[in-house]
Amino acid sequence: MQKIMVFQQNGSGKSKIAGINKFGSRHFFIKTFDIDEALPPVIDDTSQYLPGTIDADIVLDYLKHRDLSDDLSLLCKKFDIPVIASGKKITTGAAICPPT
C-alpha cells in the first residue's frame, strides 16, 4: 500500500481525502496532518507547525498559508518525497503545482 500524507488547514483537503478513501482505499493508506489554529500573516519559523520528518510515499498540500507550503516543499525535498500542491505557485523545494 502506498502511504499518502495530506497536510491541510481547517479541513481544506476533506473532499479530496473522501474521494481517495472512496475510490482507492485498497491501494492507499492516508494519514492527515491538520493545522486548525489561527495563524499569523507571516511565519518566520514554521517548525512549530510542521513535523520534523515525514513518512510517506507522496504528500498532498492543501495548506492555505504560503509560508507553510513553501517550507513543506523544502521538507519534502530533503526527504525525497514528491509533493503535489494543486493551484499553488511554490518556488521553493520541488513541489509539483498543477493548475486547478
What pTM was estimated for this model as a whole? 0.90
Counting the structural domains of the chain, the total is 1
- For residue 11, being part of any structural domain is answered with yes
3-state secondary structure 66-79: HHHHHHHHHHHHHC
Residue 16 has pLDDT above 80, yes or no: yes
Contact at 8 Å (CB) between 86 and 97? Answer: yes
Q: Is residue 91 part of a domain?
A: no
Structure-model confidence comparison of residues 18 and 90, the more confident one: 18
CATH of the domain at 54: 3.40.50.11410
Work out the percent of the chain whose per-residue pLDDT is above 70. Answer: 99
Task: Please check whether residue 97 lies inside any domain of the structure.
Answer: no
Residue 42 belongs to some domain of the structure: yes
CA atoms of 73 and 70, how far apart (whole Å): 5
Q: Is residue 30 part of a domain?
A: yes
Q: Is 47 left (phi over 0), alpha (psi -120 to 50) or beta?
A: alpha
11 pLDDT tier (thresholds 50, 70, 90): very high
Note whether residue 57 is domain-resident: yes
The predicted-structure confidence for 70-95, as pLDDT tens digits, reads as follows 999 999 999 999 999 987 777 777 78
Which residue range forms the structural domain that includes residue 15?
2-84
